Structures are given as structure tokens and as C-alpha cells.
Amino acid sequence: MVNLREIKANKEFSTLIEWANKCMEAMGYTEHGIRHCSYVSETTRKILVELGYPERIQELGAMAGWLHDIGNSVNRKNHGLTGASLAFPILMKMGMDIEEICMITGAIGNHEEETGCPVSEISAALIIADKSDAHKTRVRRGKYNADDIHDRVNYAIKQSEVVVDADRKRIKYSFKMDGTSSIMEFMQIYMSRMVMCEKAARFLGCEFQILVNGQSINNHVAVRGTKPVEESA
């Protein structure tokens, strides 16, 4: 069976990732290269591992996370749909089972908040992994622009993590940010993404909690009832 190691070693995929990052840089976007792909791949797997999904599902999630942004090599608009179309023939050529290909391309094609939605456990985990990658390391080295809200927000976030509490059915996204930006600015660019993460968490049978500097900023109701869940740092 095709695995993540083979996906990473594939020259066609690595070139697509490289060019996707170059195109995003030319358009003034934050980092979308190997660092971002690695984070999304690892975090997608982590979510699926913590929730007890089978090992092969974990591996497919990691592969989808690695490939999710290759469509940016063509155009930012609808890059999820483009990326799925680019991945399909390459995965076929690698000899991957058609059912597994569909799971990966379905996740890639549904990770954009404009047109996507959680359609599988892999898709849901990928959405949360992708949208939670806000961090100072996404600001391109030597190119910080204080007038760019994306740079300000990412640069302000010094620590971030996604924690899965399988027993309480909760996925917690917490981060610490300094005065370089603000929660208001974060929400300006991340509101639709965080709403999508809430939907993805519900698909996985969980609730999604956002904590900024230890303070919960989204009111959430437990999926097991109507009683509000106690906030925790």
C-alpha cells in the first residue's frame, strides 16, 4: 500500500508543493511550503490517532495533509478542487487503491471554507489541522509587513497547539498571542475558518474549543446534551 514516505519522496508532489509556495509568496501570502504541509500532515494524524481511528485511516489522513495545498501551484482560488484533480492521476500512477484515492481527494477538495465541508473523518481532521496553523513561523523570514493583517496576526502568535481529549469528546485549539496583533484581528481573518473547525469537530463527534491566552472565545455546547461545558484553560 502507498504510504506517506512514498508520497514525500514523489518528485511530482514535491515540485507541486514547491511551486504552490512560490505562487503564494508572489501573491503576498504567508508560508505554504514544507513547514505548513508537515504541520498539517502531523496534526491530522494526531487527531485521528487520539480519537482511535484505524492505523490506515491515520496514514491516509497524514497523506491528505501533506498534499492538501498543491492546488495553489495553479491558483489560490478553488485550490482545494484543483489540488484534488492534480493528486488523483499521480496517486493512480503510484498504484493506490481507488477507494483510498477518493478518501484523499475528497479531503483535499473540501478543506477550503468557501466551498468545502467535512465529508469524512479524514476530511474533518484535515480541516482542523489546516485552520489551526497560525504561528509566527508562518511569516516569511525577512519579509514581515506590519501593514499586513495576516503577518501581524501570525507574528503575534508565539505558542499554539491542538489538544484532543477523547474521553470528554473535545478538541481544543489554544494559542498565546502578544500585543503585536489582537483577538479582534485574529477573528477578522479566521472567523469562517473557526466556524468550519466547529463543524469538523462535530463530524468527529466532538466539540471544538478555542482558547486565546487561556480565555475561551467561543461558546460551545456539549454534543452529548444541552448543558454548557465548563471552560478550561
Q: What is the pLDDT of residues 4-53, one digit of tens each?
A: 999 999 999 999 999 999 999 999 889 999 999 999 999 999 999 999 99
pLDDT for the residue 122:
98
State the average pLDDT for the chain.
93
* pTM: predicted TM-score of the whole model, two decimal places: 0.92
d(CA 116, CA 126): 12
**pLDDT less than 70: residues of the chain:** 219-233
DSSP state of 207: E
pLDDT for the residue 222:
45
pLDDT for the residue 225:
45
Return phi, psi of residue 90, to 5°. -70, -45
Count of alpha carbons within 13 Å of 43, Cβ hemisphere only? 26
pLDDT for the residue 8:
98
Give the fold, CATH level 3, of 4-216: Hypothetical protein af1432 (1.10.3210)
pLDDT for the residue 172:
97
C-alpha cell at 86: 492534480
CA 138 to chain centre: 13
**Which alpha helices (H) appear in the chain, and where do they start and end?**
4-9, 11-26, 34-50, 55-67, 79-93, 98-108, 121-131, 149-156, 183-203
Residue pair 149/188 in contact (Cβ under 8 Å)? The answer is yes
